[in-house]
Amino acid sequence: MSKALIAVNAGSATLKFRAYSPDGRTLLARGMVDHFGMEGGVLELDAGSSHQRLTLAGSSRDEAVGAMLNLLADHALQPLAVAHRVVHGGADYHAPVVLTAEVLDDLAALIPLAPLHQPVSLAVMSAFARLDPHLTQIACFDTAFHARQPAIATRFGIARHWHDAGIRRYGFHGLSYASIARHLPELGLADARVVVLHLGSGASACALQAGQSMASSMGFSAADGLMMGSRPGNLDPEVVLYWQEHEGMDVAAVRQELYKKSGLLGVSGGISADMRELLASRDEAAREAVELFCYRAAREVASLATAMRGLDAIVFTAGIGEHSPEIRNRILKQLAWLGFEADLAANLAHATRLTAASSPRHAYVLATDEEGEMARQAAALLAGDVEL
């Protein structure tokens, strides 16, 4: 039986996991549980040339996690530790940390700031703890990558005591940005000013200067910034007050509107939160949703360039960013004035560089690897090196 680091990325309906060598550098197996915690759950695992697919009998998260561990054991892989993606670490967690009762309490207190993600992560941690109380579990934080941003980039224009109480800009998708930053030197961008567009069902943008986060589109919560699949992004706070005062909406209804009914889904009139379906639709509302998504992304690039006093390159990543030439091309067209000369053929061919050789500035596409970043961070923590 070989020891392996298990990186777990829990969503509302899926559980993605990967097994790595103890140093976090070699991928040994990958898998996913679809319909996680629901009836009809399906577990898939790829290890070497082997592919297995199992239908789960029950609906509990414990059963799904147990089946995952058993399947890994069938391939002679025993968890050394489990690393969890945690969306919000608040003001206190700037590096990966081993889970304790105190840490779990702190993460539970942050549920109001990440209501879509934090409860699921905590539930998965509990499932692992019930199945193996002695298993080392590690939290890896999306907010940690942004912890060294300039102080000015973290402030809202509100009273100082609120900032001191933790109401500030945190930034998210940090594991993704850390993964991209690791590969920038391969593109000759080690010291460059780069805006990374993480475009998926959740979407954000980050200004990276010499690989360090300088500013991000997301702020206090993961509902801020760019328009997303079902989240609005930047929104005048008076809208929320209007809903409460004039539409009679309580906090739960407002939260549902912000996290489940807005974004691409809302602007399209309920057609879909899936960019692929909207691009295929002939409906005018679908067209407008796509147009607004691209407009907001392009506008954010220009805004974040100000945080670095210039811009050298753009990198697209995540589901939409990596796989939609149409969206990449639309955004680049809106940024032509900044010196991005799109190469449509390269874009359609999914080349790494998306701009012409003669372009004053270049745009690239890179695959993000959040699980790989988690494994690397967990290995560093276990080795006693938390200066990541």
* Active-site amino acid positions: 142
Burial class of 151 by CB neighbour count within 10 A (0 to 12, 13 to 18, 19+)? exposed
Closest by CA to 187, choosing from 316, 80, 42, 75, is 316
Looking at this protein, which amino acid is placed at residue 331? Answer: I
What are the strands of the beta sheet with 50-55, ordered from one edge? 50-55, 42-47, 27-34, 14-20, 2-10, 77-86, 137-141, 97-98
Helix (H, G, I), strand (E, B) or coil at 76: coil
CA 219, 223, 229: angle at the middle one, nearest 5?
A: 135
Closest by CA to 370, choosing from 42, 22, 24, 4, is 24
Looking at this protein, which amino acid is placed at residue 268? Answer: S
CA dist 284 and 371 (Å) reads 38
Spatial contact of 173 and 219, defined as CB atoms under 8 Å apart: no
CA 125, 128, 133: angle at the middle one, nearest 5?
A: 110
108-128 burial: b if 16+ Cβ within 10 Å, else e:
eebeebbbbbbebbbebbebb
Residue 285 CA, chain-centre distance (Å), reads 27
> Phi/psi at 83 (nearest 5 deg)?
-105, 130
Query: If you count them, how many residues does the chain have?
Result: 388
Closest by CA to 207, choosing from 322, 303, 326, is 303
User: Cα–Cα distances in Å, from 262 out to 25, 97, 265?
Assistant: 39, 34, 6
Residue 12 CA, chain-centre distance (Å), reads 13
CA dist 274 and 326 (Å) reads 14
